[in-house]
Structure 1
Amino acid sequence: MSEIKAITGGVYLVIDPAMERSLLLSKLAAALKAGLAAVQLWNNSLAGTNKLEYIATVSGLCAAYNVPLFIDNEWELLVESPFLDGVHFDAIPNDYELIKRHISRPFLAGITCSGDVDVVRWADKNRLHYVSFCAMFPSLSAGSCTIVTPSTVKQAKEITTLPLIVSGGITPDNMLDLKRQTPFDGIAVISGIMSAANPYHEVLRYKNALTKNYNNYENQYDK
Protein backbone atom coordinates (compact mmCIF):
# COMPACT_ATOMS: atom_id res chain seq x y z
CA MET A 1 0.00 0.00 0.00
CA SER A 2 1.24 3.50 -0.83
CA GLU A 3 1.74 6.18 1.80
CA ILE A 4 -1.55 7.04 3.52
CA LYS A 5 -2.88 10.52 2.93
CA ALA A 6 -3.48 12.43 6.17
CA ILE A 7 -6.90 13.79 7.12
CA THR A 8 -6.86 17.58 7.46
CA GLY A 9 -10.43 18.56 6.60
CA GLY A 10 -12.57 18.75 3.48
CA VAL A 11 -15.43 16.47 2.47
CA TYR A 12 -15.53 13.03 4.08
CA LEU A 13 -18.01 10.77 2.26
CA VAL A 14 -19.75 7.87 4.01
CA ILE A 15 -21.12 5.21 1.66
CA ASP A 16 -23.78 2.61 2.42
CA PRO A 17 -22.97 -0.87 1.05
CA ALA A 18 -26.70 -1.68 1.12
CA MET A 19 -27.10 0.60 -1.94
CA GLU A 20 -27.25 -1.21 -5.28
CA ARG A 21 -23.60 -1.80 -6.10
CA SER A 22 -23.33 -0.46 -9.65
CA LEU A 23 -25.21 2.69 -8.64
CA LEU A 24 -23.00 3.18 -5.58
CA LEU A 25 -19.81 2.77 -7.59
CA SER A 26 -21.01 5.18 -10.25
CA LYS A 27 -21.91 7.85 -7.70
CA LEU A 28 -18.71 7.28 -5.76
CA ALA A 29 -16.61 7.67 -8.91
CA ALA A 30 -18.29 11.00 -9.65
CA ALA A 31 -17.80 12.21 -6.08
CA LEU A 32 -14.13 11.22 -6.10
CA LYS A 33 -13.59 13.15 -9.31
CA ALA A 34 -14.80 16.31 -7.55
CA GLY A 35 -12.28 15.83 -4.74
CA LEU A 36 -12.88 14.03 -1.45
CA ALA A 37 -10.78 13.98 1.72
CA ALA A 38 -11.75 10.42 2.68
CA VAL A 39 -14.32 7.68 2.13
CA GLN A 40 -15.83 5.55 4.86
CA LEU A 41 -17.55 2.23 4.21
CA TRP A 42 -20.47 2.13 6.62
CA ASN A 43 -21.04 -1.05 8.61
CA ASN A 44 -24.35 -1.88 6.91
CA SER A 45 -23.52 -4.70 4.51
CA LEU A 46 -26.27 -6.90 3.13
CA ALA A 47 -26.34 -10.52 4.26
CA GLY A 48 -24.04 -12.65 2.16
CA THR A 49 -21.81 -9.76 1.06
CA ASN A 50 -18.18 -10.70 0.54
CA LYS A 51 -16.75 -7.80 2.54
CA LEU A 52 -13.15 -8.30 1.46
CA GLU A 53 -14.09 -8.31 -2.24
CA TYR A 54 -16.30 -5.26 -1.71
CA ILE A 55 -13.50 -3.40 0.05
CA ALA A 56 -11.08 -4.22 -2.77
CA THR A 57 -13.52 -2.90 -5.39
CA VAL A 58 -14.16 0.37 -3.56
CA SER A 59 -10.47 0.77 -2.80
CA GLY A 60 -9.66 0.57 -6.50
CA LEU A 61 -11.70 3.74 -7.09
CA CYS A 62 -10.34 5.55 -4.03
CA ALA A 63 -6.71 4.69 -4.75
CA ALA A 64 -6.91 6.27 -8.20
CA TYR A 65 -7.46 9.61 -6.44
CA ASN A 66 -5.19 8.91 -3.45
CA VAL A 67 -8.20 9.07 -1.12
CA PRO A 68 -7.98 6.98 2.08
CA LEU A 69 -10.63 4.33 2.67
CA PHE A 70 -11.97 3.76 6.20
CA ILE A 71 -14.07 0.94 7.60
CA ASP A 72 -16.76 1.68 10.17
CA ASN A 73 -15.93 0.01 13.51
CA GLU A 74 -14.85 -3.36 12.10
CA TRP A 75 -11.15 -2.83 12.74
CA GLU A 76 -10.49 -6.57 12.32
CA LEU A 77 -10.92 -6.06 8.57
CA LEU A 78 -7.71 -4.00 8.54
CA VAL A 79 -5.93 -7.22 9.50
CA GLU A 80 -7.61 -9.15 6.69
CA SER A 81 -7.51 -6.54 3.92
CA PRO A 82 -4.49 -4.53 2.72
CA PHE A 83 -6.87 -2.19 0.89
CA LEU A 84 -8.16 -0.39 3.99
CA ASP A 85 -6.35 2.70 5.22
CA GLY A 86 -8.17 3.31 8.48
CA VAL A 87 -10.99 2.65 10.90
CA HIS A 88 -13.69 4.93 12.26
CA PHE A 89 -14.92 4.18 15.78
CA ASP A 90 -18.43 5.13 16.89
CA ALA A 91 -17.27 5.03 20.53
CA ILE A 92 -14.07 4.62 22.52
CA PRO A 93 -12.94 1.03 21.80
CA ASN A 94 -11.90 -1.45 24.42
CA ASP A 95 -8.08 -1.71 24.67
CA TYR A 96 -6.96 0.46 21.77
CA GLU A 97 -3.34 -0.56 22.37
CA LEU A 98 -4.29 -4.19 21.75
CA ILE A 99 -6.12 -3.20 18.56
CA LYS A 100 -3.00 -1.44 17.28
CA ARG A 101 -0.90 -4.51 17.99
CA HIS A 102 -3.37 -6.73 16.13
CA ILE A 103 -3.44 -4.49 13.07
CA SER A 104 0.36 -4.34 13.12
CA ARG A 105 0.77 -1.70 10.40
CA PRO A 106 0.29 2.07 10.10
CA PHE A 107 -3.37 3.08 9.82
CA LEU A 108 -5.61 6.11 10.23
CA ALA A 109 -8.18 6.28 13.02
CA GLY A 110 -11.05 8.61 13.83
CA ILE A 111 -13.89 8.63 16.32
CA THR A 112 -17.39 10.02 16.72
CA CYS A 113 -18.06 12.39 19.57
CA SER A 114 -21.74 12.74 20.42
CA GLY A 115 -21.34 15.69 22.73
CA ASP A 116 -18.98 14.19 25.32
CA VAL A 117 -15.72 16.13 25.17
CA ASP A 118 -14.00 13.37 27.17
CA VAL A 119 -14.04 11.47 23.86
CA VAL A 120 -12.10 14.37 22.35
CA ARG A 121 -9.58 14.21 25.18
CA TRP A 122 -9.20 10.44 24.65
CA ALA A 123 -8.68 10.91 20.91
CA ASP A 124 -6.09 13.60 21.51
CA LYS A 125 -4.23 11.51 24.08
CA ASN A 126 -4.20 8.45 21.81
CA ARG A 127 -3.14 10.44 18.74
CA LEU A 128 -6.07 9.63 16.52
CA HIS A 129 -6.30 11.49 13.23
CA TYR A 130 -9.63 13.32 13.54
CA VAL A 131 -12.78 13.67 15.64
CA SER A 132 -16.25 13.64 14.08
CA PHE A 133 -19.36 15.18 15.67
CA CYS A 134 -22.74 13.54 15.10
CA ALA A 135 -25.23 14.97 14.67
CA MET A 136 -25.24 18.72 14.20
CA PHE A 137 -28.75 18.66 12.69
CA PRO A 138 -31.55 16.05 12.59
CA SER A 139 -30.93 13.52 9.83
CA LEU A 140 -32.26 10.11 8.82
CA SER A 141 -28.71 9.01 7.98
CA ALA A 142 -27.46 10.00 11.43
CA GLY A 143 -29.82 7.50 13.03
CA SER A 144 -29.86 7.72 16.81
CA CYS A 145 -27.04 10.26 17.10
CA THR A 146 -27.47 12.88 19.80
CA ILE A 147 -27.77 16.46 18.56
CA VAL A 148 -24.45 18.21 19.25
CA THR A 149 -24.36 21.93 19.99
CA PRO A 150 -21.93 24.25 18.19
CA SER A 151 -20.55 25.22 21.59
CA THR A 152 -19.37 21.62 22.10
CA VAL A 153 -17.42 21.70 18.84
CA LYS A 154 -15.99 25.06 19.84
CA GLN A 155 -14.90 23.61 23.18
CA ALA A 156 -13.24 20.69 21.39
CA LYS A 157 -11.24 23.15 19.30
CA GLU A 158 -9.74 24.45 22.54
CA ILE A 159 -8.86 20.91 23.69
CA THR A 160 -7.18 19.46 20.61
CA THR A 161 -5.44 20.34 17.37
CA LEU A 162 -6.92 17.26 15.69
CA PRO A 163 -9.10 18.03 12.65
CA LEU A 164 -12.77 18.37 13.62
CA ILE A 165 -15.36 16.93 11.23
CA VAL A 166 -19.04 17.82 11.60
CA SER A 167 -21.82 15.55 10.34
CA GLY A 168 -25.52 14.88 10.48
CA GLY A 169 -27.89 16.87 8.32
CA ILE A 170 -25.14 19.12 6.95
CA THR A 171 -26.05 20.99 3.74
CA PRO A 172 -24.15 23.71 1.85
CA ASP A 173 -26.75 26.19 3.10
CA ASN A 174 -26.89 25.39 6.83
CA MET A 175 -23.10 24.98 6.87
CA LEU A 176 -22.74 28.71 6.40
CA ASP A 177 -24.57 29.52 9.60
CA LEU A 178 -22.78 26.73 11.47
CA LYS A 179 -19.41 28.19 10.45
CA ARG A 180 -20.45 31.48 12.02
CA GLN A 181 -21.08 29.68 15.33
CA THR A 182 -18.04 27.42 15.59
CA PRO A 183 -14.84 26.58 13.73
CA PHE A 184 -14.46 23.16 12.14
CA ASP A 185 -12.22 21.60 9.51
CA GLY A 186 -14.42 19.30 7.47
CA ILE A 187 -17.81 17.71 6.94
CA ALA A 188 -19.03 14.13 6.72
CA VAL A 189 -21.91 13.46 4.35
CA ILE A 190 -23.96 10.43 3.26
CA SER A 191 -27.28 11.13 1.56
CA GLY A 192 -26.51 14.74 0.70
CA ILE A 193 -24.09 13.42 -1.91
CA MET A 194 -25.05 9.80 -2.57
CA SER A 195 -28.76 10.61 -3.06
CA ALA A 196 -27.99 13.49 -5.41
CA ALA A 197 -28.61 13.19 -9.14
CA ASN A 198 -25.16 14.74 -9.71
CA PRO A 199 -22.74 13.77 -6.91
CA TYR A 200 -19.87 15.58 -8.64
CA HIS A 201 -21.74 18.86 -8.52
CA GLU A 202 -22.87 18.29 -4.91
CA VAL A 203 -19.33 17.65 -3.68
CA LEU A 204 -18.27 20.94 -5.26
CA ARG A 205 -21.17 22.74 -3.59
CA TYR A 206 -20.06 21.37 -0.20
CA LYS A 207 -16.41 22.22 -0.85
CA ASN A 208 -17.25 25.74 -1.95
CA ALA A 209 -19.40 26.34 1.11
CA LEU A 210 -16.64 24.93 3.31
CA THR A 211 -14.08 27.31 1.84
CA LYS A 212 -16.49 30.25 1.40
CA ASN A 213 -15.96 30.25 -2.33
CA TYR A 214 -19.46 30.96 -3.58
CA ASN A 215 -18.85 32.95 -6.74
CA ASN A 216 -20.77 31.45 -9.63
CA TYR A 217 -19.83 27.85 -8.83
CA GLU A 218 -22.92 26.62 -10.72
CA ASN A 219 -21.59 28.09 -13.97
CA GLN A 220 -17.99 27.15 -13.29
CA TYR A 221 -18.55 23.52 -12.35
CA ASP A 222 -21.88 22.49 -13.84
CA LYS A 223 -21.63 19.16 -15.62
Structure 2
Amino acid sequence: MEVMEITHKITGGIYLVLDPARPLPLLLQKLEAALKGEINVVQIWNNWNADTDKLTLIEAIGSLCRQYNVPLFINEEWQLLTETLYLDGVHFDTIPKGYNLIKETVKRPFMAGITCSGDLDTVAWADENQLDYVSFCAMFPSPSAGSCSIVMPAIVKKAHESTLLPIFVSGGITPQNIIALKEKTPFDGVAVISGILSADDPQQQVQTYKDALSINP
Protein backbone atom coordinates (compact mmCIF):
# COMPACT_ATOMS: atom_id res chain seq x y z
CA MET A 1 0.00 0.00 0.00
CA GLU A 2 1.36 3.41 -0.97
CA VAL A 3 2.01 5.61 2.06
CA MET A 4 0.42 9.06 1.75
CA GLU A 5 1.28 12.15 3.73
CA ILE A 6 -1.47 14.11 5.48
CA THR A 7 -2.16 17.22 3.42
CA HIS A 8 -5.28 18.46 5.19
CA LYS A 9 -5.50 20.64 8.28
CA ILE A 10 -8.76 20.91 10.19
CA THR A 11 -9.49 24.32 11.65
CA GLY A 12 -13.29 24.33 11.93
CA GLY A 13 -16.18 25.13 9.61
CA ILE A 14 -18.87 22.71 8.43
CA TYR A 15 -18.39 19.01 9.23
CA LEU A 16 -20.87 16.89 7.28
CA VAL A 17 -21.76 13.45 8.66
CA LEU A 18 -23.13 11.02 6.07
CA ASP A 19 -25.60 8.25 6.85
CA PRO A 20 -24.48 5.26 4.71
CA ALA A 21 -27.89 3.62 5.16
CA ARG A 22 -29.36 6.16 2.75
CA PRO A 23 -29.65 5.18 -0.96
CA LEU A 24 -26.20 5.74 -2.47
CA PRO A 25 -27.21 7.69 -5.63
CA LEU A 26 -29.17 10.22 -3.56
CA LEU A 27 -26.43 10.36 -0.93
CA LEU A 28 -23.79 11.15 -3.56
CA GLN A 29 -26.04 13.77 -5.14
CA LYS A 30 -26.54 15.51 -1.79
CA LEU A 31 -22.84 15.19 -0.94
CA GLU A 32 -21.69 16.77 -4.18
CA ALA A 33 -24.06 19.69 -3.67
CA ALA A 34 -22.69 20.17 -0.14
CA LEU A 35 -19.11 19.95 -1.42
CA LYS A 36 -19.90 22.69 -3.94
CA GLY A 37 -21.02 24.75 -0.95
CA GLU A 38 -17.49 24.28 0.45
CA ILE A 39 -17.93 22.09 3.49
CA ASN A 40 -14.70 21.40 5.37
CA VAL A 41 -14.84 17.76 6.56
CA VAL A 42 -16.88 14.64 5.73
CA GLN A 43 -17.47 11.60 7.96
CA ILE A 44 -19.19 8.31 7.18
CA TRP A 45 -21.34 7.50 10.21
CA ASN A 46 -21.25 3.96 11.61
CA ASN A 47 -24.81 3.13 10.53
CA TRP A 48 -24.43 0.53 7.81
CA ASN A 49 -27.04 -1.61 6.12
CA ALA A 50 -26.19 -5.29 6.59
CA ASP A 51 -25.60 -5.89 2.88
CA THR A 52 -23.48 -2.78 2.20
CA ASP A 53 -20.15 -3.22 0.41
CA LYS A 54 -18.26 -0.80 2.63
CA LEU A 55 -15.14 -0.41 0.48
CA THR A 56 -17.18 0.31 -2.65
CA LEU A 57 -19.22 2.94 -0.83
CA ILE A 58 -16.09 4.50 0.69
CA GLU A 59 -14.44 4.69 -2.74
CA ALA A 60 -17.49 6.39 -4.25
CA ILE A 61 -17.65 8.96 -1.46
CA GLY A 62 -13.89 9.35 -1.26
CA SER A 63 -13.56 9.99 -4.98
CA LEU A 64 -15.99 12.90 -4.69
CA CYS A 65 -14.27 14.30 -1.60
CA ARG A 66 -10.89 14.23 -3.34
CA GLN A 67 -12.23 16.28 -6.23
CA TYR A 68 -12.94 19.05 -3.72
CA ASN A 69 -9.88 18.41 -1.51
CA VAL A 70 -12.02 17.61 1.55
CA PRO A 71 -10.82 14.99 4.07
CA LEU A 72 -12.94 11.87 4.62
CA PHE A 73 -13.25 10.23 8.05
CA ILE A 74 -14.71 6.89 9.06
CA ASN A 75 -16.68 6.61 12.29
CA GLU A 76 -15.11 4.11 14.76
CA GLU A 77 -14.01 1.45 12.25
CA TRP A 78 -10.35 2.39 12.09
CA GLN A 79 -9.49 -1.02 10.61
CA LEU A 80 -10.85 0.22 7.28
CA LEU A 81 -7.90 2.62 7.13
CA THR A 82 -5.75 -0.44 6.42
CA GLU A 83 -7.97 -1.48 3.50
CA THR A 84 -8.41 1.73 1.51
CA LEU A 85 -6.55 4.97 0.87
CA TYR A 86 -9.81 6.83 0.26
CA LEU A 87 -10.07 7.41 4.02
CA ASP A 88 -8.05 10.21 5.58
CA GLY A 89 -8.94 9.63 9.22
CA VAL A 90 -11.10 8.10 11.92
CA HIS A 91 -13.59 9.61 14.33
CA PHE A 92 -13.85 7.86 17.70
CA ASP A 93 -17.03 7.94 19.77
CA THR A 94 -15.04 7.20 22.94
CA ILE A 95 -11.37 6.92 23.89
CA PRO A 96 -10.09 3.83 22.03
CA LYS A 97 -8.12 1.14 23.78
CA GLY A 98 -4.53 0.85 22.58
CA TYR A 99 -4.36 3.99 20.45
CA ASN A 100 -0.60 3.59 19.93
CA LEU A 101 -1.19 0.04 18.70
CA ILE A 102 -3.86 1.34 16.31
CA LYS A 103 -1.35 3.77 14.84
CA GLU A 104 1.21 0.99 14.44
CA THR A 105 -1.37 -1.27 12.78
CA VAL A 106 -2.55 1.31 10.24
CA LYS A 107 1.07 1.89 9.09
CA ARG A 108 0.36 5.23 7.45
CA PRO A 109 -0.37 8.75 8.64
CA PHE A 110 -4.02 9.41 9.41
CA MET A 111 -6.11 12.07 11.11
CA ALA A 112 -8.25 11.50 14.19
CA GLY A 113 -10.99 13.22 16.16
CA ILE A 114 -13.19 12.25 19.07
CA THR A 115 -16.60 12.91 20.61
CA CYS A 116 -16.18 14.27 24.11
CA SER A 117 -19.81 14.44 25.23
CA GLY A 118 -19.51 16.37 28.50
CA ASP A 119 -16.19 14.82 29.52
CA LEU A 120 -13.24 17.19 29.81
CA ASP A 121 -10.95 14.21 30.52
CA THR A 122 -11.55 13.14 26.92
CA VAL A 123 -10.47 16.59 25.77
CA ALA A 124 -7.27 16.21 27.79
CA TRP A 125 -6.66 12.78 26.22
CA ALA A 126 -7.18 14.19 22.73
CA ASP A 127 -4.75 16.99 23.50
CA GLU A 128 -2.13 14.60 24.89
CA ASN A 129 -2.42 12.30 21.87
CA GLN A 130 -2.35 15.17 19.36
CA LEU A 131 -5.69 14.49 17.72
CA ASP A 132 -6.93 16.87 15.03
CA TYR A 133 -10.15 18.05 16.69
CA VAL A 134 -12.71 17.35 19.39
CA SER A 135 -16.49 17.32 19.08
CA PHE A 136 -19.26 17.84 21.62
CA CYS A 137 -22.55 15.96 21.23
CA ALA A 138 -25.32 16.79 21.73
CA MET A 139 -25.89 20.49 22.20
CA PHE A 140 -29.61 20.16 21.42
CA PRO A 141 -32.04 17.20 21.19
CA SER A 142 -31.71 15.37 17.88
CA PRO A 143 -32.81 11.93 16.59
CA SER A 144 -29.45 11.39 14.86
CA ALA A 145 -27.51 12.22 18.03
CA GLY A 146 -28.55 8.81 19.35
CA SER A 147 -27.42 8.16 22.89
CA CYS A 148 -25.51 11.45 23.25
CA SER A 149 -26.43 13.29 26.43
CA ILE A 150 -27.09 17.02 26.32
CA VAL A 151 -23.92 19.06 26.82
CA MET A 152 -24.03 22.38 28.62
CA PRO A 153 -22.36 25.32 26.83
CA ALA A 154 -20.27 25.94 29.97
CA ILE A 155 -18.48 22.62 29.37
CA VAL A 156 -17.59 23.62 25.81
CA LYS A 157 -16.32 26.94 27.12
CA LYS A 158 -14.07 25.17 29.62
CA ALA A 159 -12.76 22.94 26.84
CA HIS A 160 -11.99 26.00 24.74
CA GLU A 161 -9.96 27.38 27.63
CA SER A 162 -8.01 24.13 28.07
CA THR A 163 -7.06 23.17 24.50
CA LEU A 164 -5.98 24.69 21.20
CA LEU A 165 -7.60 21.84 19.26
CA PRO A 166 -10.48 22.88 16.97
CA ILE A 167 -13.83 22.36 18.69
CA PHE A 168 -16.95 21.20 16.83
CA VAL A 169 -20.45 21.13 18.28
CA SER A 170 -23.19 18.81 17.06
CA GLY A 171 -26.65 17.48 17.81
CA GLY A 172 -29.66 19.46 16.66
CA ILE A 173 -27.52 22.29 15.26
CA THR A 174 -29.40 24.77 13.05
CA PRO A 175 -28.32 28.10 11.56
CA GLN A 176 -30.65 29.77 14.03
CA ASN A 177 -29.33 28.21 17.23
CA ILE A 178 -25.69 28.58 16.15
CA ILE A 179 -25.97 32.31 16.77
CA ALA A 180 -27.52 31.85 20.23
CA LEU A 181 -24.95 29.21 21.15
CA LYS A 182 -22.06 31.46 20.14
CA GLU A 183 -23.25 33.97 22.71
CA LYS A 184 -22.62 31.36 25.42
CA THR A 185 -19.39 29.69 24.28
CA PRO A 186 -16.72 29.87 21.56
CA PHE A 187 -16.41 27.01 19.08
CA ASP A 188 -14.79 26.52 15.67
CA GLY A 189 -17.29 24.51 13.67
CA VAL A 190 -20.51 22.52 13.55
CA ALA A 191 -21.17 18.88 12.69
CA VAL A 192 -24.42 18.32 10.81
CA ILE A 193 -26.33 15.38 9.31
CA SER A 194 -29.98 15.97 8.44
CA GLY A 195 -29.67 19.75 8.65
CA ILE A 196 -27.87 19.62 5.30
CA LEU A 197 -28.70 16.23 3.79
CA SER A 198 -32.45 16.72 4.18
CA ALA A 199 -32.38 20.17 2.59
CA ASP A 200 -33.81 20.61 -0.91
CA ASP A 201 -30.69 22.60 -1.82
CA PRO A 202 -27.71 21.36 0.26
CA GLN A 203 -25.33 23.81 -1.39
CA GLN A 204 -27.42 26.79 -0.32
CA GLN A 205 -28.00 25.28 3.11
CA VAL A 206 -24.24 24.98 3.65
CA GLN A 207 -23.94 28.68 2.90
CA THR A 208 -26.68 29.43 5.42
CA TYR A 209 -24.72 27.53 8.09
CA LYS A 210 -21.51 29.32 7.11
CA ASP A 211 -23.19 32.69 7.33
CA ALA A 212 -24.41 31.87 10.86
CA LEU A 213 -20.91 30.74 11.88
CA SER A 214 -19.43 34.01 10.63
CA ILE A 215 -21.63 36.17 12.84
CA ASN A 216 -19.85 37.46 15.94
CA PRO A 217 -22.11 37.64 18.99
**What does residue 193 of structure 2 align with?**
190
Runs of 4+ with deviation above 4 angstroms: none
1:163 to partner: Cα distance: 0.2
Q: Distance in 2 between matches of 1:4 and 1:104?
A: 17
User: Offset of 1:212 from its aligned partner?
Assistant: 1.6
- What secondary structure sits across from 2:173 in the alignment? coil
Q: Which residue of 2 aligns with 1:39?
A: 42
TM-score (norm 2): 0.96
Query: Amino acid of the residue matched to residue 44 of structure 2?
Result: L
1:86-165 counterparts in 2 under 5 A? 86-165=89-168
Structure 2, unaligned stretches of length 5 or more?
Answer: none
Aligned-pair CA distance for 1:4: 2.8
The answer as to 2:49 corresponding to 1:80 is no
Could you tell me which of 178, 184, 191 is aligned with 2:181?
A: 178
SS of the residue 1:169 aligns to = coil
Structure 2 CA distance for aligned equivalents of residues 91 and 2 of structure 1: 26
Give how far 1:144 is off: 1.1
- Helix, strand or coil at the partner of 1:132: strand
Pick the aligned partner of 1:71 from 69, 74, 84. Answer: 74
Residue-pair matches, total: 213
Structure 1: how far apart are the matches of 2:7 and 2:36?
19
- Give the CA deviation at 1:2: 6.6
Q: Would the aligned equivalents of 2:6 and 2:111 in 1 still touch at CA under 8 Å? A: no
Q: Deviations over 1:11-33 (max 9, x none)?
A: 00000010111110000000000
- For residue 133 of structure 1, give the secondary structure of its aligned residue in structure 2: strand
Following the alignment from structure 1 to structure 2, what is the Cα–Cα distance between the partners of residues 210 and 32? 17
| Alignment RMSD | 1.0
CA distance in 2, matches of 1:4, 1:194: 27
- Structure 1 residues not aligned, in runs of 5+: 214-223
